[in-house]
Amino acid sequence: MVEALEAKKLKEHAKLKEYLALTDEVIVKKNGRDWSRDAFDLTTRVLHVNPEFYTVWNYRRHILVHGIFPTRSVLCTPPEINEILTTDLSLTTAHLKQHPKVYWIWNHRRWCLENVPVGPTEDDPDGWRRANWNKELFVVERMLDADARNFHAWNYRRYVLASTPVQRAEQAELTYTTRKIEANFSNFSAWHQRSKVLTSLWDSGKLDIKKSKEDEYELVKNAMYTDPGDQSVWIYHRWLVEPGNDYEILRREITSIQELLDEQPDSKWCMESLVFYHRLQLRNHSSRLTDTDKQGIVQRCLQLLNDLQAVDSPRRQRYIDLSTEVQKLA
Amino acid sequence: MNHKEALDREEVIDFVMSCWDEDAGAFGAHPDHDAHIHSTLSAIQILIMQDALDRLDVPRVVDFILSLQQESGVFSGDSFGEIDTRFLYCAVNALSLLGQLDKLDVEKTVGYIRKCRNFDGGFGACIGAESHAAMVWVCTAALAILDRLDEIDHETLGWWLAERQLPSGGLNGRPEKLEDVCYSHWVLSSLSILNKLTWIDAEKVTAFILSAQDLEHGGIADRPGDQPDVFHTQFGVAGLSLLGYPGLNDLDPVYCMPASLIERMGLKKGWQALPRRTN
């Protein structure tokens, strides 16, 4: 046992020594502005061990830009540049599988993509770019299959979609979020993406806002009934309702949440959301309400906030503060 | 923790200065590493805490920082152009500490933060990104430094932040994610800047942070049972300080530096921590 531990320690020590020697070597080359193929290969080895070493990523890009791409001495033709960048994209795909949250790897991919040359031919100037971008979308989807909440992957996905040489229909992204949400209602990253895509589709008139919103209410209602304790859904619902100018929808949603609360009397999110929507009612639609209505709603909110203090005690003070706010609306 | 003397002043200053990148005119994370805005802010913070700012080439560092602001208002981390609201905060914090905020295009900077605001009241790493507690903190703190907290919907963001607390007492960084000690710093500092620290259960967070301690070797891990590291120790202690844990110094949640120091520099903003307990 002790011997095994000792052997493991020795092995780790040797590995560390090897890594430190590698680091020293790469720094010496970097300081000497060595932009050779050897230096490039050395950065590959260092980054393989430690992809967090941002200076070496920088050095690698300097080697490419100053040493390998320039067409002065050894000719590096556009097909070769494309080849090198495609190889680097494959290499970093392997890195990402092991280190899906290292900023520098994602960052390097972006740089590679942006430097893909025009070509392969004059007739098809976007061919290489199209091929690489399509592959990126595939890679990022595999990354989101592995971890559907990886925000690096989502940010990168938005970047790829926005910068792709051939724009994809936004509807496709809406379908993608549906798939992700249906796989797991808790995936707030997908709900978030959905809110961005829908906003854009509504603003551009590609989707009828009224009809599309009704579809969303249906989807959300399903999710709410599946797990009323899942906050992703309630946060999204709030986005759908806000700013709450449509009085009929506001009333309908209040009734629907009240029904769910009747079934699940301890549901914190039902109570919390009811208070929020009742306050919207009082703030935005006070002209439609009689004084008796208003008094009733205020009392209802105070009752809910009182219950919330018991059901959700860690956030007790928030409910007390909200009670003060609600009283001002009376 | 009141043990500044635990690190030798000269050694600390020498190390910081050895990270200077002469080509770029700023600091890297380690000797011979390239300059980056993040390590540059750390270097400035350490030099100020060691009362050694006279060692700094202020004009060059200011030039470096300002050179990283993009047309959109956000900052990149270095010359390779990765952009993030974290780097925007580094720039705002550093310029403020150096008394050089007048050189910053405040409208442009605030304009970018505004575009990162989401319907849940929070902020992400760039335009379009999902709200995340760390980015909420950098945006909130940057706005606090620029006296522009009016850009925030306090009630909505306070709600989102309060909902980061899980039944274990620990805090997560996004809805339906796991708790982690690092969020103690980001969530609690943001709540403190919004004067809403009472919106979570302080006792339960305190107990969670303490339960992630390694009682044999010292330090705090991301969660109970894991290996401690210096990041989670810093984030855990920062959180405990804001929660009024006995015996700790006051932390300034805007600058993430000792509160007394920031107050002496005349930079204190209107944040509120919980009162320091005596036992």
Across A69-83, A139-153, A213-227, A244-258, least confident range: A69-83
What count of CB pairs under 8 Å joins A to B? 90
C-alpha B78/C-alpha A58 separation (Å) is: 10
C-alpha B168/C-alpha A261 separation (Å) is: 25
Residue-level pLDDT at A166: 87
Residue-level pLDDT at B279: 79
Confirm or reject contact between A23 and chain B (CB < 8 A).
Answer: no
C-alpha A94/C-alpha A97 separation (Å) is: 5
C-alpha A289/C-alpha A111 separation (Å) is: 58
- Longest Cα–Cα distance in chain B: 51
Domain presence at residue A116: no
Residue-level pLDDT at B111: 98
Instruction: Find the CB nearest A195 among B119, B174, B198.
Output: B119
Residue of A30, A58, A103 to mutate, interface with B, max B Cβ within 10 Å: A58
CB contact under 8 A, A149 and B177: yes
Instruction: Find the CB nearest A317 among B32, B81, B198.
Output: B198
Print the domain residue range for A268: 242-330
User: Average pLDDT over chain A, rounded to whole?
Assistant: 94
Confirm or reject contact between A154 and chain B (CB < 8 A).
Answer: yes
Split into its structural domains, chain A has a count of: 1
pLDDT of residue A73 exceeding 60, the answer is no
What is the pLDDT tens value at each position of chain B, 279 positions in all?
Answer: 999 999 999 999 999 999 999 999 999 999 999 999 999 999 999 999 999 999 999 999 999 999 999 999 999 999 988 999 999 999 999 999 999 999 999 999 999 999 999 999 999 999 999 999 999 999 999 999 999 999 999 999 999 999 999 999 999 999 999 999 999 999 999 999 999 999 999 999 999 999 999 999 999 999 999 999 999 999 999 999 999 999 999 999 999 999 999 999 999 999 999 999 997
SS3 B175: coil
SS3 B247: coil
Q: In Å, how far are A298, A300, A303 from A327, measured between CA atoms?
A: 7, 11, 12
> What b/e sequence results for B86-107 when a residue is b if at least 16 CB atoms lie within 10 Å of its CB, and e otherwise?
bbbbbbbbbbbbbebbeebeee
Domain presence at residue A136: no
CB contact under 8 A, A55 and B28: yes
Residue with the two structure tokens 């932009």: A35
Residue-level pLDDT at A77: 86
Cβ atoms B118, B137 nearer than 8 A: no
Domain presence at residue A217: no
C-alpha B216/C-alpha B214 separation (Å) is: 6
Q: Residue B140 CB: number of other CB atoms within 10 A?
A: 29
Nearest C-alpha neighbor of A174 from the set A154, A200, A156, A151: A200
CB contact under 8 A, B174 and A61: no
Which stretches within chain B are classed as H helix? 9-18, 37-49, 58-67, 85-97, 106-115, 133-145, 154-162, 182-193, 202-211, 230-242, 259-264
Q: Report the residue of chain B nearest A106, measured CA to CA.
A: B82
Domain presence at residue A280: yes
C-alpha A270/C-alpha A220 separation (Å) is: 13
C-alpha A173/C-alpha A198 separation (Å) is: 10
Residue with the two structure tokens 């595999």: A142
Cβ atoms A282, A289 nearer than 8 A: yes
Instruction: Find the CB nearest B32 among A27, A313, A316.
Output: A27
Q: Domains in chain B, start-ordered, CATH in brackets? A: 153-279 (1.50.10.20)
pLDDT of residue A142 exceeding 90, the answer is yes
Nearest-Cα distance to chain B for A262, in Å, is 23
What is the dihedral angle through the alpha carbons of B161, B167, B168, B169, rounded to the nearest 10 degrees? 40
Domain presence at residue A208: no
Q: In Å, how far are A36, A301, B180, B221 from B211, measured between CA atoms?
A: 51, 37, 12, 9
CB contact under 8 A, B159 and A192: no
Residue-level pLDDT at B239: 97
Domain presence at residue A273: yes
DSSP B129: P
List pLDDT tens digits, range A28-62: 999 999 999 999 999 999 999 999 999 999 999 99
List pLDDT tens digits, range A287-322: 999 999 999 999 999 999 999 999 999 999 999 999
Residue-level pLDDT at A76: 79
Q: Which CATH number is A320's domain given?
A: 1.25.40
Nearest C-alpha neighbor of A53 from the set A80, A20, A82, A94: A20
Domain presence at residue A313: yes
C-alpha A24/C-alpha A19 separation (Å) is: 9
pLDDT of residue A95 exceeding 60, the answer is yes
Cβ atoms A289, A281 nearer than 8 A: yes
C-alpha B145/C-alpha B214 separation (Å) is: 35
- Dihedral sign for Cα atoms in the order A250, A254, A260, A261: positive
Give A245's Cβ-side CA count (13 Å radius): 1
Q: In Å, how far are A181, A186, A230, A234, A254 from A227, measured between CA atoms?
A: 13, 9, 6, 10, 18
CB contact under 8 A, B176 and A187: yes
C-alpha B205/C-alpha A93 separation (Å) is: 38
Instruction: Find the CB nearest A314 among B34, B78, B204.
Output: B204
The contacts found for A95-102 with CB under 8 angstroms, 24 or more apart, are A95/A47, A95/A48, A95/A51, A96/A139, A96/A143, A97/A146, A98/A51, A99/A51, A99/A52, A100/A143, A100/A146, A100/A147, A100/A150, A100/A152, A100/A153, A101/A150, A101/A152, A102/A51, A102/A52
Dihedrals phi, psi of B52, to nearest 5 degrees: -130, 30
Residue-level pLDDT at A75: 63
Residue of A315, A321, A325 to mutate, interface with B, max B Cβ within 10 Å: A315
SS3 B73: coil
Instruction: Find the CB nearest B34 among A55, A155, A314.
Output: A55
CB contact under 8 A, A151 and B129: yes
More confident residue, A51 or A330: A51
Nearest C-alpha neighbor of A111 from the set A89, A137, A78, A143: A89
C-alpha B185/C-alpha B240 separation (Å) is: 9
List pLDDT tens digits, range A98-124: 999 999 999 999 999 999 999 899 999
pLDDT of residue A74 exceeding 80, the answer is no
Domain presence at residue A142: no
Residue-level pLDDT at A72: 54
C-alpha B126/C-alpha A323 separation (Å) is: 35
